Amino acid sequence: MKHLLLSLIIFTTVKVYAQFGNSYMVKTFEKQIDSIFYKSKTSWVMPTPFVFNKQFYSVDSGATYKKVGFFGQNVKRRMAKAPGIRTNINLYTTVRILGLSQMAILAPYFVVRDVNWLIENDFKKKPATPHTAFKRPPNLWIALGVYITGSITFYLLSKPFLRKALAKHHRSKRIIG
């Protein structure tokens, strides 16, 4: 079990591409919103649920682009003090933390519960009769559902808050400048 968790951690922290034969199965999506000077590059390793997302922003009207940061820490330092910007960046950070905790804490918890149930019931080879047969709990399905909703929260539901903060920043720069 320790080796499985260690290999999963290594796989998710190091950008690994799935290779089948001579072709790489990675789908890349790029998005650019010029009105708020925002760029996004998402790489998805096709046969897995692993997604790598890079987000970039510009506070100087597109002259230079910098990385947003995992929780938006790079944006928070460089943004103007206009009302609503800090709130949206804090909401972006909170939603990302929530999604990450779903993927990294809750989903593995249900997998471990299922493995423990298997060890206690299936591997002891108890003779089963109709009265003593145990029904297996659906922990793996719950883990998959939690992981998928965590991914949606982490990658999709957090982006509008960052975009709102960038839009407010550029709107306030147009009013001031």
pLDDT at 1: 63
How far apart are the C-alpha atoms of 175 and 177, rounded to whole Å? 6
Residues 6+ away with beta carbon under 8 Å from 89: 72, 75, 76, 79, 161, 162, 165
Which pLDDT score, from 0 to 100, does residue 172 have? 81
What does the pLDDT read at residue 4? 65
What pLDDT score does 125 carry?
64
10 Å CB burial of residue 102 (0-12, 13-18, 19+) is: buried
Closest C-alpha to 85, from 163, 156, 174: 163
pLDDT tens, position by position, for the chain (177 residues)?
666 666 666 655 554 444 444 445 788 889 899 888 999 998 888 777 778 889 999 888 788 899 999 998 888 888 767 778 889 999 999 999 999 999 999 999 999 998 888 777 766 666 666 665 667 778 889 999 999 999 999 989 999 999 999 898 888 877 665
pLDDT at residue 23, as a whole number = 47
**Percentages helix, strand, coil for the chain, rounded to the nearest 5?**
55, 15, 30
pTM across the whole model = 0.74
**CB contact at 8 A, 172 and 82:** yes
